[in-house]
Amino acid sequence: MDDTWRTSAVGLVLARPPRLLGTEPFFMEFIAGIEERLAAHGRSVLLHVVAHHDAEIAAYRRWARQRLVDAVVLVNPSVDDRRPAVLRDLRLPVVVAGEPTDDNPAVRRDDAGSMRAALAHLVALGHRRVARISGPDALLHTRTRTAAMLTAAAESAVDAVVVAGDYSAESGARLTTGLLDGPEPPTAIIYDNDLMAVAGLHAVTERGHRVPRDVSLIAWDDSSLCRLASPALTTMSLDVHSFGESVGEAVLRLVAGETVPQRWCATETVVARGTTGPPG
């Protein structure tokens, strides 16, 4: 980056439907954590919501051309991701929230360890048919969780199946119904976010199934949606605000010209509530 290029903004582009962003607590809490850390140093987040990666890349090009940001936070690294190379060519410094891309500094979540913990909780309760409704398969963290789940399931003699959703309530309800209507329905379902889990819970109860006696449910990312559900959802809990603060701290060090070591968030922990129990 040119030494004369200095602003007070850090860019964050979210490539997801705006309607989903408005109902998904994770990113609101994540952004709040980044903003809190940056604000203490006179900086702020420049947020842009787009529909897909092509539009995201166009935003980066515009920001670089107009010199609107000092650095970028890159979220949801994906398979064959073009964004890191584009940002490198634009000379925009990057902090990755997730699995590292190229040589960019990253703040990582222990997706593999957390998935093993979720499955271990269900195995300890006696479950041997476990399904997971994941996020999009192109995301690196989705694939990391899938690999960890299938490996841990094989080690524990668990029949595991993974179906891909898109983080929306609609996909959570639809895929839950499909799993329950199958020839060997699972006795437990893990969801990759809270929206899909809450919708899945509604789908289960609307079909007359009892939770957790007929089917146990675990949501990823503990939020008020999970705590206010009836029954309250068992979750994999991460301090998302702290995750955002760690990303904000890495950005501050990066724009100051310091070396930024890779950081890890604590492994998510199981918060057992009313949606997990022994299979009936």
Q: What is the average pLDDT across 52-78?
A: 96
- Over residues 193-226, the pLDDT tens digits come to 999 999 999 999 999 999 999 999 999 988 899 9
Edge-to-edge strand order for the sheet containing 159-164? 159-164, 129-134, 188-191, 216-220, 234-237, 269-271
Is 226 in contact with 276 (CB distance < 8 Å)?
no
Q: Which two tokens stand for residue 45?
A: 């987040």
Task: Look at residue 22 in the predicted model and tell me its pLDDT.
Answer: 66
Residue 5: its pLDDT value, please?
Answer: 56
pLDDT above 60: residue 3:
no
Render pLDDT for 115-151 as a digit per residue (tens, 0 to 9): 999 999 999 999 999 999 999 999 999 999 999 999 9
Q: List the structure tokens of 9.
A: 């903004």
Query: Which of 71, 67, 111, 98 has its CA nearest to residue 87?
Result: 71
Report which of 116, 113, 112, 96 is spatially closest to residue 104, judged by C-alpha positions. Answer: 96
pLDDT of the residue at 266 = 84
pLDDT (tens digit per residue) in 256-272:
999 999 999 988 999 99
* pLDDT, averaged across the chain: 94
| pLDDT at residue 4 is higher than 60 | no
Residue 182 has pLDDT above 90, yes or no: yes
DSSP reduced 3-state for 144 = helix
The helix (H) or strand (E) run that includes residue 235 is: strand 234-237
Q: How far apart are CA 137 and CA 13, in angstroms?
A: 20
Contact 127, 161 (CB under 8 A): no
With H, G, I as helix, E, B as strand and everything else as coil, classify residue 143. helix
CB-based burial, 225-256: b 16+ in 10 Å, e otherwise: bbeebeebbbbbbbebbebbbbbbbbbbebbe
What residues does 264 pair with on adjacent strands? Answer: 108
pLDDT band per the 50, 70, 90 thresholds, residue 111 = very high
Closest to 51 (Cα-Cα) out of 73, 81, 21, 28: 21
What is the average per-residue pLDDT within 244-251? 97
Determine how β-strand 269-271 pairs with β-strand 234-237.
antiparallel
Encoded amino acid at 252, one letter: L
Nearest to 262 by CA among 274, 273, 270, 253: 253
pLDDT at position 101, please? 79
